[in-house]
């Protein structure tokens, strides 16, 4: 009983120590606007799902396949939990600064792990509530289900994150156990995290492949069978997903109770199995994670002279920004790796699915059609805008300074130069993603070399724009009061604001696209549009932004 | 030379961290700034270093107004903050090179100064390591070297002795003396009376943002005998000293 108490007690403290929406300490305006955004967007999203479910049910009921809504609902949510879980687990189990305080306490590894697992489970509820509740409730109302359906459903909802999260935890724990050996802890942390992410994405692709390998005829046969036979399609991912769905569909029968017990029992079993395993491998992976190796070697004169050559202020400042981004694991994962991951996320699924090869061919043909060249350029602007806006380098660049911001105040260089360097650090990283995008387009989709060059020459504008807006937003609402680096980037709502800000140029790009102009007109229209927007934002940054930087005090 | 004229800084809208403070620290002087915790020492120092903006009053360094010539003033100051935990993921040498670039130090000057300062502070062997791997005292020393690399005429140091080993502490005091004796200004805060007594030419005592005393150590001791409230302050200071 005592064991249980400590786990729950710890979990409660960890949650209280968390930051919620990350708006604590922000101005009232910022708080109100965040709450408004969430209060409008979340119900809209949920209503959208409910509407979709209702219209799908109308069709599915006629062919006796309505159960697929629930099994897909649970399976998709499990997959979401798994993908988010990989990131959550890396940062909560291993990168979080509280680990250092917990290790000296008289706690068993499974208590720390159990508490952290519960914390992540609760974080996941925020996501699954938005995407699962409308499915569950709409189905219940549409099918006129009884009270037992809702009771089962609540338990299914509460236990849903356990299996996928345990799978994510297991992958990460094994990786961290065997990588926490090197002297270069920071680099290993990043590598471990990245391998975990890639493993997760890879696993997802394999699953897609398995499901995709079923032929059209086999699927049609399943559809004709009726009686929710299509549900078998989703069982490959997480076995619990199917049991959960069966429990809900057959809630009024004994088989429903059986599925329900199987679902609940299996989930709990997984949880305790994970704790048992964690007792063995969690601590060796986490102890000494924050140590730093040192060489203690005398620098010879030549080496010293090589590393201490005078450089320009902006160049040196930008390089330091980049060094810190690359060397701080949580910054690397959130700000740097995202630049390389987007192109990979977008293109790899196409590469790894055999039947998609002709899709590549189709895309290639479309990209090279003379009449679609304008569209291709506009599309590359939209993609560059998207990749720029989802990259948090500049939208967290003031926040990342935290309590060290005062250093930037006593340096004898102008605020204008400092802001320029901050924009540059984000811009350089953004350019890498454009370059990868163009390389993929040229080598995989056989885009013409000249078109690739043209995209490179023009699509840096949207990236620059998002860097400028990101920094302006972070200057006005920086999150400086944090005690662990992950709070500066992960729980920073400025990234979301920057994505929202990007909607405006995004819409304008589609307006240009709607007129389906030729390449020359598109080029002129978009470079003029983005050039003007960049000019306005740069002016704002160098006037209002500088003023704001002067006002910021720690 | 540092001149503060009627400087006031308020946090929020009510708490006056520095209240109408006026001070003149001439060239060739080591000036100690004393006061209990929360007295306004760090706020004053941050105002002079340009980290905080004063609500009213003016600050001049070597005759130049901080507000009007911010960058020029900052270039003449070497500032050591009270916490050395910064740029932890940079290597020592990268940090020093960064500071040298920020303060526009030529390649020859920086190489010569980095080598001599690193040797004096016993840091030559760790310059290639990340600051993260340094002990508290070593971090303090790398910050000190970073500040001295541009050879500033005015030193401003916030509790500089904290965490330093006796040898480095002695070395720093010696360097402060040398610096002041060659016609420069050293302004530092401490709440250790013993340090102030041994190093300072003059001291000021601040409490609740107000200047209570400014003069030589001898004058201060005389003053304590006549003034009961200052004597309490003295007790408070010596108490905090014995706690450390």
Given this model, what pLDDT does residue A512 score?
A: 87
Q: Do A299 and B97 touch (CB under 8 A)?
A: no
Length of chain B: 244
**Which of B46, B103, B115 has its CB closest to that of A304?**
B115
pLDDT tens sequence across B181-202: 999 999 999 877 778 888 899 9
Q: Do A298 and B110 touch (CB under 8 A)?
A: no
CA dihedral A462, A466, A468, A469 (to 10 degrees): 130
What's A433-486 look like in SS3? HHHHHHHHHHHCCCCCHHHHHHHHHHCHHHHHHHHHHHHHHHHHCCCCCCCCHH
**Alpha carbon distance, N-terminus to C-terminus of chain A:** 46
Supply the CATH number for residue B173's domain: 3.40.50.300
ipTM: 0.88
Which domain does B107 fall in, by range? Answer: 2-243
The domain tally of chain B equals 1
Given this model, what pLDDT does residue B77 score?
A: 95
pLDDT tens sequence across A283-339: 877 776 656 556 666 667 777 788 888 889 999 999 999 999 998 888 887 888 877
What residues of A are in contact with residue B52 (Cβ under 8 Å)?
409, 553
Q: What is the DSSP string of B36-89?
A: -TTSSHHHHHHHHHTSS--SEEEEEETTEETTTTHHHHHHHEEEE-S----STT
Residue A357 is classified by DSSP as H
Please check the confidence at residue A175 and state whether its pLDDT lies above 90: no
Given this model, what pLDDT does residue B5 score?
A: 95
**Which of A323, A409, A414 has its CB closest to that of B90?**
A323
The Cα of B101 is separated from the nearest Cα of chain A by a number of Å equal to 6
Q: CA A222 to CA B17: how far, in whole Å?
A: 76
Is pTM beyond 0.90? Reply is no
Q: What residue in B sits closest to A316 (Cα-Cα)?
A: B98
pLDDT tens sequence across B76-133: 999 999 888 899 989 999 999 999 999 999 999 999 999 999 999 999 999 989 998 8
CB A247 within 8 A of CB A260: yes
- Mean pLDDT for all residues in chain B: 88
Please check the confidence at residue B241 and state whether its pLDDT lies above 50: no
Q: Do B101 and A186 touch (CB under 8 A)?
A: no
The Cα of B165 is separated from the nearest Cα of chain A by a number of Å equal to 19
What confidence tier does A206 reach under pLDDT thresholds 50, 70, 90?
Answer: low
Residue A200: name the closest of A79, A73, A113 by CA: A79
Burial annotation B28-42 (CB, 10 A radius, 16+ → b, else e): ebbbbbbbbeebbbb
Contact residues for A294 (Cβ-Cβ < 8 A; gap 6+)? B126, B129, B130, B133
Q: Secondary structure of chain A: what % helix, strand, coil (to 5)? A: 80, 0, 20
Share of chain B above pLDDT 90, in %: 61
Residue A425: name the closest of A381, A395, A459, A382 by CA: A395
By the CB < 8 Å criterion, does A302 face chain B? no
Q: CA A443 to CA A447: how far, in whole Å?
A: 7
Residue A438: CB atoms within 10 A of its CB come to 22
Share of chain A above pLDDT 70, in %: 80
**Which of A295, A316, A328 has its CB closest to that of B128?**
A295
Helical spans, DSSP H, in A328-356? 329-331, 337-351
């Amino acid at each position: 009983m005592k064991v249980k108490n400590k786990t729950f007690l710890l979990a409660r403290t960890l949650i209280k120590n968390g930051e919620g929406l990350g708006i604590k300490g922000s101005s009232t305006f910022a708080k109100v606007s965040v709450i408004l955004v969430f209060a409008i967007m979340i119900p809209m999203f949920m209503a959208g799902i409910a509407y979709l479910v209702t219209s799908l049910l109308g069709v599915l009921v006629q062919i006796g396949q309505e159960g697929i809504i629930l099994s897909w609902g649970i399976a998709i949510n499990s997959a979401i939990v798994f993908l988010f879980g990989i990131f959550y687990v890396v940062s909560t189990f291993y990168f979080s600064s509280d680990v250092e305080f917990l290790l000296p306490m008289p706690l068993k590894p499974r208590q720390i792990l159990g508490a952290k697992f519960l914390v992540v489970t609760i974080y996941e509820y925020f996501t699954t509530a938005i995407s699962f509740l409308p499915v569950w409730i709409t189905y219940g109302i549409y099918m006129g289900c009884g009270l037992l359906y809702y009771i089962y459903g609540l338990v299914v909802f509460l236990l849903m994150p356990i299996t996928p999260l345990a799978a994510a935890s297991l992958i990460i724990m094994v990786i961290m156990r065997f990588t926490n050996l090197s002297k270069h802890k920071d680099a290993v942390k990043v590598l471990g995290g990245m391998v975990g992410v890639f493993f997760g994405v890879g696993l997802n692709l394999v699953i897609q492949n398995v499901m995709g390998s079923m032929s059209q005829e086999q699927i049609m046969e399943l559809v004709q069978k009726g009686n929710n036979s299509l549900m078998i399609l989703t069982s490959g991912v997480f076995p619990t997903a199917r049991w959960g769905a069966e429990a809900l569909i057959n809630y009024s029968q004994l088989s429903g109770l059986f599925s329900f017990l199987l679902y609940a029992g299996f989930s709990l079993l997984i949880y305790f199995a994970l704790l048992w395993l964690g007792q063995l491998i969690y601590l060796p992976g986490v102890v000494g994670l924050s140590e730093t190796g040192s060489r203690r070697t005398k620098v010879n004169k030549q080496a010293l002279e090589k590393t201490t050559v005078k450089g320009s202020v902006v160049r040196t400042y930008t390089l330091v920004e980049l060094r810190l981004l690359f060397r701080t694991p949580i910054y690397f994962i959130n700000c740097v790796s995202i630049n390389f991951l987007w192109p990979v996320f977008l293109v790899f699924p196409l590469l790894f699915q055999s039947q998609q090869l002709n899709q590549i061919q189709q895309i290639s043909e479309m990209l090279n059609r003379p009449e679609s060249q304008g569209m291709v350029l506009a599309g590359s602007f939209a993609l560059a805008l998207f990749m720029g806006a989802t990259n948090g380098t500049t939208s967290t660049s003031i926040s990342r300074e935290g309590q060290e911001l005062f250093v930037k105040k006593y340096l004898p260089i102008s605020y204008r130069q400092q802001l320029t360097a901050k924009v540059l650090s984000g811009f350089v990283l953004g350019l890498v993603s454009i370059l990868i995008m163009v390389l993929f387009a040229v080598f995989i989709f056989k885009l013409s070399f000249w078109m690739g060059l043209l995209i490179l020459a023009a699509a840096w504008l949207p990236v620059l724009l998002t860097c400028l807006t990101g920094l302006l937003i972070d200057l006005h609402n920086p999150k400086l009061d944090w005690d662990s680096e992950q709070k500066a980037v992960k729980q920073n709502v400025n990234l979301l604001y920057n994505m929202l800000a990007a909607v405006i140029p995004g819409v304008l790009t589609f307006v240009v696209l709607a007129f389906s102009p030729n390449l020359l007109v598109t080029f002129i229209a978009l470079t003029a549009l983005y050039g003007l927007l960049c000019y306005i934002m740069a002016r704002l940054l160098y006037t209002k932004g500088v003023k704001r930087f002067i006002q910021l005090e720690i | 030379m540092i001149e503060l004229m009627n400087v006031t800084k308020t946090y929020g809208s009510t708490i006056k961290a520095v209240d109408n403070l006026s001070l003149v620290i001439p060239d060739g002087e080591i000036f100690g700034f004393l006061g209990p915790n929360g007295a306004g020492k760090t706020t004053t120092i941050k105002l002079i270093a340009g980290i905080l903006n004063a609500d009213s009053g003016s600050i001049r360094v070597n005759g130049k107004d901080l507000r009007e010539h911010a960058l020029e003033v900052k270039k003449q100051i070497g500032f050591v903050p009270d916490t050395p935990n910064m740029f932890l993921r940079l290597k020592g040498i990268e940090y020093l090179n960064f500071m040298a670039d920020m303060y526009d130090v030529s390649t020859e000057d920086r190489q010569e100064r980095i080598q001599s300062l690193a040797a004096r502070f016993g840091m030559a062997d760790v310059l290639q390591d990340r600051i993260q791997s340094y002990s508290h005292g070593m971090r303090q020393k790398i910050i000190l070297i970073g500040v001295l690399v541009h050879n500033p005429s005015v030193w401003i140091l916030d509790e500089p002795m904290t965490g330093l080993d006796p040898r480095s502490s002695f070395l720093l005091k010696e360097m402060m003396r040398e610096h002041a004796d060659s016609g420069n200004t050293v302004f530092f805060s401490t709440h250790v009376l013993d340090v102030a007594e041994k190093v300072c030419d003059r001291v000021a005592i601040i409490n609740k943002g107000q200047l209570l005393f400014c003069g030589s150590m001898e004058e201060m001791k005389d003053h304590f005998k006549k003034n009961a409230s200052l004597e309490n302050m003295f007790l408070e200071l010596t108490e905090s000293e014995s706690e450390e």
